[in-house]
Chain A
Amino acid sequence: MAAVDAETIGKSYGATAVLDDVSLRFEDGRFTSLLGPSGSGKTTLLRIVAGFVTADRGRILIGGEDVTSVPVWKRAIGMVFQSYALFPHMSVDDNVAFGLARRGVRGAEASRRVGEALEMVRLSGFGARRPKELSGGQQQRVALARAIVTRPRVLLLDEPLSALDRRLRQEMQVELKRIQREVGITTIFVTHDQEEALALSDHVAILDRGRIVQAGPPGEIYERPATRFAASFLGDANFLEGVVAEGGVIVGGVLVRTDDPLPAPGTKALLAVRPEKIALVPAWGAAPAGHNAVPATVRQVVYAGAASTYLLDGPGGVALTVFAQNRTGGPVAEAGATVTLAFPPKQTILIKD
Chain B
Amino acid sequence: MTALGKLFLFAVLGFLYLPVAVLVAMAFNASPLYALPFEFTTHWFEELAGNDKLLAATRNSVLIAILTTVLATVIGALAAIALSRRRFRGRTLLRLLLLPPIAIPWLIIGTAMLVFFFWTGIGRGLHAMVLGHVALAIPYVVLVVGAGLNNTRIDLEEAAMSLGSTPLHAFFAVTLPLLMPSLIAAALFAFAVSLDQFVISYFLATPGVSTLPVEIYTSIRKGFTPEVNAVSSLLLAASMILIIIFARLTKVGGVSGRR
Contact = CB atoms under 8 A, between A and B. Distances in A.
> Do A and B interact with each other, yes or no?
yes
Contacts of B155: 81, 83, 85
Nearest to A99: B163
Given A81-B155, A81-B158, A89 B254 contact: yes
Given A81-B158, A83-B153, A83-B155, A88 B163 contact: no
B166 interface: yes
B161 A73 contact: yes
A150 B160 CA distance: 13
B162 interface: yes
B160, B257, B259 — most chain A CB neighbours (10 Å):
B259
Nearest to B253: A89
A150 B161 CA distance: 13
Contacts of B163: 73, 98-99, 102, 146, 150
Contacts of B165: 73, 102
Contact of B162 (A77, A86, A88, A103): A77
B164 interface: yes
Interface in A130-171: 131-132, 139, 146-147, 150, 156
Interface string B103-126: 000000000000000000000000
Contacts of A71: 161, 166
A86, A89, A103 — most chain B CB neighbours (10 Å):
A89
Nearest to A50: B162
B101 interface: no
Interface string A70-83: 01111001110101
B178 to A, nearest CB: 6
Interface string B219-233: 000000000000000
A87 B174 contact: yes
A52 interface: yes
A98 B254 contact: no
A147 B177 contact: no
Interface in B225-259: 253-254, 257-259
Contacts of B177: 89
Interface string B162-173: 111110010001
A236 to B, nearest CB: 35
B92 to A, nearest CB: 19
A83 B253 CA distance: 22
Contacts of A77: 162
A173 B156 CA distance: 24
| Chain B: number of interface residues, binned into ranges | 20 to 34
Contact of A52 (B158, B253, B254, B259): B158
Main secondary structure of the interface of B (DSSP, over half): helix
A74 B169 CA distance: 13
A88 B257 contact: yes
A87 B156 contact: yes
A47 to B, nearest CB: 9
A73 B258 CA distance: 25
Nearest to A82: B155
A352 B165 CA distance: 46
Interface in B59-81: none
B11 to A, nearest CB: 39
B159 A73 contact: no
Contacts of A98: 160, 163, 173
A75 B137 CA distance: 43
Nearest to B257: A88
Interface of B: 153, 155-156, 158-166, 169, 173-174, 177-178, 253-254, 257-259
Given A73-B166, A81-B155, A81-B159, 12 more contacts: A71-B161, A71-B166, A73-B162, A79-B158, A81-B158, A85-B156, A86-B259, A88-B178, A89-B177, A99-B163, A99-B164, A146-B159
Interface of A: 50, 52, 71-74, 77-79, 81, 83-89, 98-99, 102-103, 131-132, 139, 146-147, 150, 156
28 contacts: A52-B161, A71-B166, A72-B158, A73-B162, A73-B165, A73-B166, A74-B164, A78-B162, A79-B159, A79-B162, A81-B155, A81-B158, A81-B159, A85-B158, A85-B159, A87-B156, A87-B174, A88-B254, A89-B177, A89-B253, A89-B254, A98-B160, A98-B173, A102-B164, A102-B165, A146-B159, A147-B162, A150-B163
A-B pairs with lowest CB-CB distance, top 3: A102-B164, A99-B163, A85-B159
